[in-house]
């Protein structure tokens, strides 16, 4: 019951903040967020049969945990980070370093302590490096989207 409360809270709190995000930013950064979310979801589904993590309750719990994180804090956080930092690469990088470190170490430790999941075949450093890699991939993709939009508007 407690873990269900955590999952629901993560989704509701994340999506509640979207009402404060300007509509223009939401739609501008939606494509990069959808692509990134799709990549993360694919990686997550790949990790299940490779035992990267485990959770009490088996596959159903693992899927619920992953979907909660991916479509809650990750999705909404991506929109917010782009809204607040895009075109300020060093700030974008700094915020991603801090958030990715926080996910990989203190939050990961907390989630393991409350038995949300347990890492098995990957370590916190892998979470950190993968998350940081996604942030750079996202930034380059958004730059390409903007460049393409600029080229379309000059025609």
| Collapsed DSSP state (helix, strand, coil) of residue 109 | helix
Q: Which residues pair with 54 in a beta bridge?
A: 118
| Collapsed DSSP state (helix, strand, coil) of residue 50 | coil
Instruction: Look up residue 33 and give its two tokens.
Output: 């967020």
In Å, what is the CA distance from 33 to each residue of 23, 30, 93? 14, 5, 17
pLDDT < 50: residue spans in the chain: none
- What pLDDT, in 10s, does the model give residues 64-93? 999 999 999 999 999 999 999 999 999 999
Q: Which residues pair with 119 in a beta bridge?
A: 53
- Alpha helices, DSSP H, located in the chain: 2-17, 23-47, 59-69, 75-85, 89-102, 108-113, 124-153
Contacts (Cβ under 8 Å, ≥6 apart) of 129: none
Whole-prediction pTM value? Answer: 0.91
pLDDT of residue 57: 83
pLDDT of residue 98: 98
pLDDT of residue 155: 64
Q: Report whether 115 contacts 3 (CB < 8 A).
A: yes
| Collapsed DSSP state (helix, strand, coil) of residue 54 | strand
């Amino acid at each position: 019951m407690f873990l269900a409360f955590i999952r629901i809270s993560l989704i509701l709190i994340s999506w509640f903040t979207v009402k404060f995000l300007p509509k223009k930013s939401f739609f501008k950064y939606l494509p990069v967020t959808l692509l990134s979310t799709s990549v993360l979801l694919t990686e997550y589904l790949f990790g299940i049969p490779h035992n990267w993590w485990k959770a009490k309750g088996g596959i159903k719990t693992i899927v619920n945990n992953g979907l909660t994180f991916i479509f809650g804090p990750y999705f909404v956080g991506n929109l917010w980070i782009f809204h607040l930092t895009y075109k300020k690469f060093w700030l974008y990088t700094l915020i991603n370093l801090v958030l990715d470190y926080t996910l990989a170490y203190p939050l990961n430790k907390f989630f393991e302590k409350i038995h949300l999941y347990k890492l098995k075949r990957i370590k916190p450093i892998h979470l950190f490096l993968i998350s940081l890699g996604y942030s750079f991939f996202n930034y380059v993709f958004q730059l390409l989207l903007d460049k393409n939009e600029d080229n379309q508007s000059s025609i």
